[in-house]
């Protein structure tokens, strides 16, 4: 599918200096970011990469354009040719790595979440306030998905009147191996790991209202191993914002059909639905199973374009454009609401923020 | 669209005696029921109608086959040629009218809700227990909609594994005149008036688990007049059932596109969505607005087939078939849960049942 | 799905005399018509039925309301209590049976086609011209399908500007037993058997322009037995009408997904698509096969509502309303064009009408 | 939407020499190609551009990375640093420019069509046969659209049994200014200008069968100015291939809803539909117009991904991979069939090839 408004993503912006980027972390998603930055983001130059794993650095050496390779984050920060760092590292490291990058004078893009801990988020914000000239963005990539972007623009332009309700979901294809069960001790639970995207979407589409109260519930449909961590594989929640705005969230690890992540925003004069059918592409199959389409298997395929657009936007922001992604303050709010959801799930009670 | 399994709705069941029906209440929905019973339900004969309004009786005289007309419910109950009464009267009258019908030895079909008051529901059940030979059914018509029926059968047959989550909504086209605002003092509020359908659907599709806890929220998007009654025009809710089953509800009075009432049932091996796009028919329009379909304007058009099928099923049950609609006990549960949702909306707290 | 405009189909038209109908032929489709006329058409009374087969008359005796049963068509025509005959007989008999019915002073509804032979069609029209007070209609039921009707009304009301192209198809679920191969010697071939519906739809939606030239082609995809009859199991055709109007047809016997019969009408200001996805109902299935819907298996389920509406319309016409179905002249044109398609398929050349 | 199988499009192929490309023609489509080659095709370097127009060269100077600019094609061909030329020039120039490029020892990518004249196509093939070491590809970009590619792979893998029928259309949003009317004298007419894409798709999906006979028709729905050139703004056609394979084509200049270009391939065990709804993106709008999606306005947005993928594939082929796009022989066949369609439209007769 097509970018509703592809304007402005091309021009190399001749005459301006390229942004020299160092990517940190070369797992599956890190590699995607590295390749985007290396080949598909005008105005960016991927000049360095950092990973503690030999195997990942070997991949970089074989696959990426010539760049400096580090096995130590501090060494990369000491590289004066690096203008911006791109953190695709374990969540527990994000907060400190962001602070270190800012201290080193680097712009910083960091995958979500900022931190699973509200106080730590606040500490990062306090530090970042000292570096107003540096970009610091958290990678809520849905804001850069062409369809989400189109919906946002339509809402902004009044197409559905006053928006008052967002329904949003992050639903993963069931992984029979239950990778996320092993990940459960550090993931923060389904609401901080998955719903955090929906929280950001809801705030973004509703005009960033302040959250007042939440209620969450959930169930273990398939993955019994989650119980010992107080986690669930299917969670639902309601979030009340000020001014009577509302959000309803759903997160699942057990979808049979693929990654089904979408949102709906309802206003006084209409509604917009984004990704209601998680179609893989434009092909429909007509056979003994009926009329059908295949689904996006993971968020990776679903948000391929969004990952690229967010990189382009970040680089444009560093080069002088307006910031367009989620700010650290947005990320703090997402963590604050997600933590309240987790508390509500644990207590069975509504939680007032 | 087509009945997935139209079997058994036709045959007149020759040799069996017709069920002689008296319809009570001839408003818009009462007329629809009367016409179905008069012309489209093999095995039924519409022999009487009752309304206190001259205008409604005149309509019946002019439109329906020859039948006896009453302006008084007691008189209709005294008519010994009536085997079954069909109540399409104001909600506040339902409970006593059902009891009276049973006392008079009549089978009874009654539009939802049984009552807005749990204690009154329980009183009707206690009375009805004394008349086990009489059919008494509450009109949750979605159970008879061909698509809901198809989904129910698929769930029953294991198509989606173990169902654990239902998402269901009852969303009305916005009525700028706000009829329901005037109706608010007696409607019981959005959850008892609208969501009661979704509650019944959720219980039915999930195997009738017991509800344990609910949380509800809502907002007034357009109709300020609702505030004085503590009601909202958009409500959302979560219902926890035993065994980790869950439901999420949405009700709205303010849709811009039509009546959008549908459900989704999610299981361990798949999901079924019913009525995701409230399409009016099979026509798609391709023009300057894009590619689109028109929507069902009201529940009346959406559930036209269901109203007929429920009448056919009730008559078949009276003639000796198994009961297939919602029982009084089902209606009691719907009122119990709906009342808890109302209490949660008022208090802002989760309510344990 | 719902009738876009259900107005006017109900009222029993009290005070008017019922139309007493005799149905002729009680195969699968005949039974459907008989049941509709017996139970679901206000203003009609099914008073007689005729079949040479004991088994079919036994079915009628067991299933239908009390009615007179005949094994001989002449005897039914002699029954003075019959106002109208309803022919669901083999195609080869239609023409003479229509003429006989008119001679006997009966209104006549006849399943398509009028005849496979143009000259015979013309002979029936000449006879019918002598009985202008009698209704004579050929059952092109798509005109009564709610979605086709909605599209027709929209075209009439100018919604798509001037319509100039119809694309229409009649595609059957593959029958591995190849019933239609055994039927091939008498079916007239795929264009006269299937496409005749599309021809009628095209003429109806385009304002009944005169056909000028056709070209047809086809292939045997699966059913080799058709070759000896010069028939194909997949046929395509173009029909040029006067004033630059066009139609493109497709007929298939070999669909893997169900009966897929739909149409598209394209105008200068928009287009309408009818039945683009042959969905069975409003259920979507989300599972390992993707997101899908089941399909209508046969025309029987697809056009269930249309068969009923055409019966209601015919009875209303007999009782004094305007004729709304396909006239004998429409049926003649459909046969004329269908015959030209067959000739083009045989010759490989365009055929001028 | 997502590439069904994105494998292999990323890696820069380290160690191999970059392909140095010169783009010729910098109109709207030429600029798109130039930007792709400059920024988004690993392994390519855009080193030169050629346009006779000052304005276009100025655009290149301001927007593209440093490159050599020529106002004369011969000068570009003389540039020994150019490995491959990329022709986005008027159709009438294609044939000679391809030959000249080959003579100069350059690989050549050329936008469709190869030529509107069959004899000229054949002359180019004869010349090209002398340069087997040089890539020469015509830009039938649909082969590189992710959805078309997915369908092709499914057909190849037997998902629909034996494919025997393709229905394919190229339908443009109506341009009230009628640009294509002014273009009519040189466009070759609707079949050579638009349907040529569908011809290539049909041949590609059906296994490149030889065409035997065609029939075409058409109408002027809106643009009367086309009549003097014997052209139409809506054309339909049937193409018979050997072995009973068939194609049905539709081309339009007058769509009200957007660019609606898609295809369907029907086999003995199923069918695949590509782009049935020309949705712009994943957003659905629910409002007073019903439920709808916006459409791709032009082929430019619809095939944005395809233009990029074909550039990546061409560069990969030059660097030693297998050729994957349309060959000169494919382009010759498309012109041969398109010319026969034009002849059939003019004569009203079927044309045997």
Q: Neighbouring chains of B at 3+ CB pairs within 8 Å? A: A, C, D
For B262, the closest chain C residue by CA position comes to C282
pLDDT-derived band at B178 (thresholds 50, 70, 90) equals: confident
Q: What is the nearest CA distance from B186 to chain A, expressed in angstroms?
A: 24
Contact C281 B35 (CB under 8 A): no
Q: Which residues contact B157 (CB under 8 A, 6 or more apart)?
A: none
| Of residues A117, A324, C268, the one with CA closest to residue D252 | C268
Distance between CA atoms of residues B103 and B97, nearest Å: 10
**Is residue C118 predicted with pLDDT exceeding 90?**
yes
Residue B289 in contact with partner chain D when CB distance is under 8 A: yes
Whether the Cβ atoms of residue C15 and residue B66 lie closer than 8 Å to each other:
no
Provide the shortest C-alpha distance from residue D169 to chain B (in Å).
Answer: 15
Nearest to C286 among A256, A285, A287 (CB): A256
Contact B160 A252 (CB under 8 A): no
B317-339: average pLDDT: 93
SS3 (DSSP) at D62? helix
Is there a cis peptide before residue D69, judged by omega within 30 degrees of 0?
A: no
Does residue A189 have a pLDDT over 50? yes
> How many CB atoms sit inside 10 A of residue A7's CB?
8
Per-residue pLDDT reduced to its tens digit, A125-175: 999 999 999 999 999 999 999 999 999 999 999 999 999 999 999 999 999
Nearest chain C residue to D260 by CA: give it. C271
Q: Residues A84, A170: one domain?
A: no
Tell whether the model's pLDDT for residue D175 goes beyond 50.
yes
Question: In this predicted structure, what is the pLDDT of residue A16?
Answer: 66
- Given the structure tokens 């007509």, which residue do they identify? A286
How many Cα atoms occupy the beta-carbon half-sphere of D147 within 13 Å? 29
Q: Pull the structure tokens for residue B112.
A: 């939802």
Which segments within chain B are labelled E, that is strand? 19-24, 44-50, 68-70, 84-87, 107-111, 136-139, 163-173, 211-219, 234-241, 246-255, 262-267, 270-274, 283-287, 290-293, 351-352
Same domain flag for D164 and D137: no
Q: Nearest CA to B252 among B229, B219, B300, B227?
A: B219
Question: Cα-Cα-Cα-Cα dihedral of D6, D9, D13, D19, to 10°?
Answer: 170
> Is the pLDDT at A9 greater than 70, yes or no?
no
Residue C321 has pLDDT above 80, yes or no: no
Alpha carbon of D55: minimum distance to chain C alpha carbons (Å):
37
Residue D2 is predicted with a pLDDT of: 36
D234 Cβ under 8 Å from any chain C Cβ: yes
Of all residues in chain C, the one with the smallest CA distance to B150 is C283
Mean pLDDT value of segment B140-166: 98
Tokens of B255: 């849709």
In a domain, D11, yes or no: no
Report d(CA A98, CA A127) in Å as an integer.
Answer: 9
Distance, CA of C351 to CA of D114 (rounded, Å) = 34
Shared-domain flag, residues A54 and A118: yes
Distance between B351 CA and the closest CA of chain C, angstroms: 33
User: What total number of domains does chain C contain?
Assistant: 2
User: Does a structural domain hold residue D170?
Assistant: yes
Q: What is the pLDDT of residue B15?
A: 54
pLDDT tens profile D233-253: 999 999 999 999 999 999 999
Min distance D280 CA to chain C CA atoms (Å): 17
Domain final residue, candidates A119, A140, A161: A140
Residue where the block lists tokens 């994000």: A94
Measured CA to CA, the distance from residue B302 to residue B135 in angstroms comes to 27
Terminal Cα-to-Cα distance of chain A (whole angstroms):
39
DSSP sequence for A163-219: EEEEEEEEEEEP-TT-HHHHHHHHH--HIIIIIHHHHHHHHHHHT-PPEEEEEEEEE
Residues of A in contact with B257 (CB under 8 A): 270-271
One domain for residues A269 and A126: no
Q: Do D164 and C270 touch (CB under 8 A)?
A: no
**Is the per-residue pLDDT at A15 higher than 60?**
no
The residue segments making up the domain with residue B157 are 143-302+327-352
Residue C132 neighbours by CB distance under 10 Å: 7
Inform me whether the pLDDT recorded for B344 exceeds 80: yes
For residue A26, pLDDT over 80 is answered with yes
Chain A closest CA to C257's CA: distance in Å?
Answer: 4
* pLDDT on residue B7: 31
C308 is a domain residue: no
Could you say which of B256, B288, B290 has the minimum Cβ distance to residue D288? B256
Confidence of residue A286 (pLDDT cuts 50, 70, 90): very high
Residues D118 and D137 in one domain: yes
Q: What is the CATH number of the domain that holds C179?
A: 3.30.360.10
Provide, as residue numbers in chain B, all residues whose Cβ is less than 8 Å from the Cβ of C272.
283-286
According to the model, what pLDDT value does residue D180 have? Answer: 83
Would the CB atoms of D276 and A284 count as touching at under 8 Å? yes
Task: Tell me if chain A has a CB within 8 Å of the CB of B140.
Answer: no
Interface check for C250 against chain D (CB to CB < 8 A): the answer is: yes
Answer yes or no: is pLDDT of D1 > 50: no
Tell me the pLDDT band of D39, cut-offs 50, 70 and 90: confident
- The C-alpha R_g of chain C, in whole angstroms, comes to 20
**Where a domain ends, among A99, A117, A140?**
A140
Listed in sequence order, the residues at least 6 apart from A48 whose beta carbon sits closer than 8 Å to its beta carbon are: A20, A21, A22, A23, A67, A68, A69, A70, A76, A79, A81, A82
CA distance B299 to B312: 19
Q: What is the largest CA-CA distance in chain B?
A: 63
Do A276 and A158 reside in the same domain of the chain? yes
Q: For residue range B27-83, what is the model confidence (pLDDT) as tens digits? A: 999 999 999 999 889 889 999 999 999 999 999 999 998 999 999 999 999 999 999
- Per-residue pLDDT of A253-279, as tens digits, reads 999 999 999 999 999 999 999 999 999
- Kindly state whether A287 is in contact with chain C, defined as any CB-CB distance less than 8 angstroms: yes
Give the chains touching C; criterion: ≥3 Cβ pairs < 8 Å.
A, B, D
Say whether both D294 and D149 belong to one domain: yes
**B116-148: pLDDT as tens digits:** 999 999 999 999 999 999 999 999 999 999 999
**What tens digit of pLDDT does each residue of B245-265 get?**
999 999 999 999 999 999 999
Domain end, chosen from B112, B141, B170, is at B141
Residue C3 lies in a domain: no
- Candidates A167, A214, A217, A235: best to mutate against B (most CBs of B within 10 A) is A217
How is residue A58 written in tokens?
Answer: 């070997």
Residue D92 is assigned to a structural domain of this protein: yes
How does residue A188 score in pLDDT terms, banded at 50, 70 and 90?
Answer: very high
The answer to whether residue D228 is domain-embedded is: yes
* Strands ordered across the beta sheet of C68-70: C68-70, C44-50, C19-24, C84-87, C107-111, C136-139
CA distance B61 to A24: 82
ipTM value, please give it. 0.94
Do C126 and C155 fall within a single domain? no
Same domain? For B341 and B195 the reply is yes
CA dihedral for B88, B89, B94, B98, sign (positive or negative): negative
Contact D237/C236, CB-based, under 8 Å? no
Q: Which residues pair with C216 in a beta bridge?
A: C237
Q: Quote the pLDDT of residue A324.
A: 81
Tell me whether D268 touches chain A (CB under 8 Å).
no
- Two tokens at D91? 């159709």
Question: Given an 8 Å threshold on Cβ–Cβ distance, is A221 in contact with B167?
Answer: no
Q: Which CATH number does the domain housing residue B106 bear?
A: 3.40.50.720
Residue A286 touches chain D, beta carbons under 8 Å: yes
C-alpha closest to that of A159 among D298, D284, B284: D284
pLDDT for the residue numbered D152: 98
Query: Residue D351: is its pLDDT beyond 60?
Result: yes
Query: Could you tell me which chain B residue has the CA closest to the CA of A244?
Result: B219
Query: D332 and D254: one domain?
Result: yes
Q: Kindly state whether residues D53 and D192 are assigned to the same domain.
A: no
> What's the pTM value of the predicted model, to 2 decimals?
0.94
Predicted confidence at residue D176, as pLDDT, reads 86
Rounded mean pLDDT, B86-113 = 97
- Mean pLDDT of the A290-302 span: 96
How many H-runs (helices) and E-runs (strands) does chain A carry?
Answer: 12, 15
What percent of chain C lies above the pLDDT cut of 90? 88
Contact B287 C270 (CB under 8 A): yes
Query: B-chain residues within 8 Å CB-CB of D259?
Result: none
Instruction: Flag if A291 and C285 touch (Cβ within 8 Å).
Output: no
Q: DSSP secondary structure string, C191-258?
A: IIIIIHHHHHHHHHHHT-PPEEEEEEEEE-SS-GGGGGGT--SEEEEEEEEGGG-EEEEEEEEEESSS
Q: What is the mean pLDDT of residues A24-33?
A: 96
* Model pLDDT, residue C9: 32
Q: Report yes or no on B322 lying in a domain.
A: no
Can you tell me the distance from the alpha carbon of D292 to that of D212, in angstroms, rounded to the nearest whole number? 41
In a domain, B59, yes or no: yes
Q: Same structural domain for residues C43 and C92?
A: yes
> Average pLDDT in the C279-296 region?
98
Q: Say whether residue C160 is in contact with chain D using an 8 A CB cutoff.
A: yes
The pLDDT, as a whole number, for residue C14 is 52
- How far is A254 from A232, CA to CA, in rounded Å? 11
DSSP string for residues in C138-175? EE-GGGGSHHHHHHHHHHHTTTTSSEEEEEEEEEEEP-
């Amino acid at each position: 599918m097509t970018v509703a408004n592809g304007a402005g993503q091309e021009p190399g912006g001749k005459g301006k200096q390229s942004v020299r980027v160092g990517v940190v972390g070369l797992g599956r998603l890190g590699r995607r970011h590295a390749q985007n930055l290396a080949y598909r983001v005008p105005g960016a130059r991927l000049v360095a990469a950092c990973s503690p794993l030999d195997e990942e650095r070997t991949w970089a050496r074989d696959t990426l354009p010539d760049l400096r390779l580090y096995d130590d984050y501090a060494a990369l920060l000491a590289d004066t040719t690096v203008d911006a760092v791109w953190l695709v590292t374990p969540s527990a490291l994000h907060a400190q790595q962001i602070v270190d990058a800012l201290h080193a004078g680097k712009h910083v893009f960091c995958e979500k979440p900022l931190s699973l801990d509200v106080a730590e988020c606040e500490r990062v914000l306090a530090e970042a306030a000292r570096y107003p000239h540096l970009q610091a963005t958290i990678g809520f990539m849905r804001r850069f998905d062409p369809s989400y972007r189109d919906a946002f623009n339509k809402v902004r332009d009044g197409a559905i009147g006053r928006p008052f309700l967002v329904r949003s979901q992050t639903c993963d294809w069931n992984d029979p191996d239950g990778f996320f069960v092993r990940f459960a001790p550090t993931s923060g639970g389904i609401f901080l790991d998955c719903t955090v995207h929906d929280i950001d979407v809801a705030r973004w589409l509703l005009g960033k209202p302040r959250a007042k109260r939440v209620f969450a519930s959930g169930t273990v449909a398939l993955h019994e191993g989650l119980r010992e961590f107080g986690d669930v594989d299917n969670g639902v929640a309601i979030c009340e914002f000020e001014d009577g705005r509302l959000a309803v969230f759903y997160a699942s690890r057990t979808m049979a059909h693929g990654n089904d992540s979408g949102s709906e925003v309802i206003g006084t004069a209409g509604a917009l639905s984004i990704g209601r059918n998680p179609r893989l592409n434009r092909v429909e199959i007509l056979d003994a199973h009926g009329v059908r389409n295949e689904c996006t298997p993971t968020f990776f395929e679903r948000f391929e374009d969004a990952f690229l657009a967010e990189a382009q936007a970040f680089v444009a922001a560093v080069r002088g454009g307006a910031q367009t992604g989620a700010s650290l303050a947005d990320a703090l709010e997402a963590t604050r609401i997600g933590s309240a959801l987790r508390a509500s799930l644990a207590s069975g009670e509504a939680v007032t923020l």
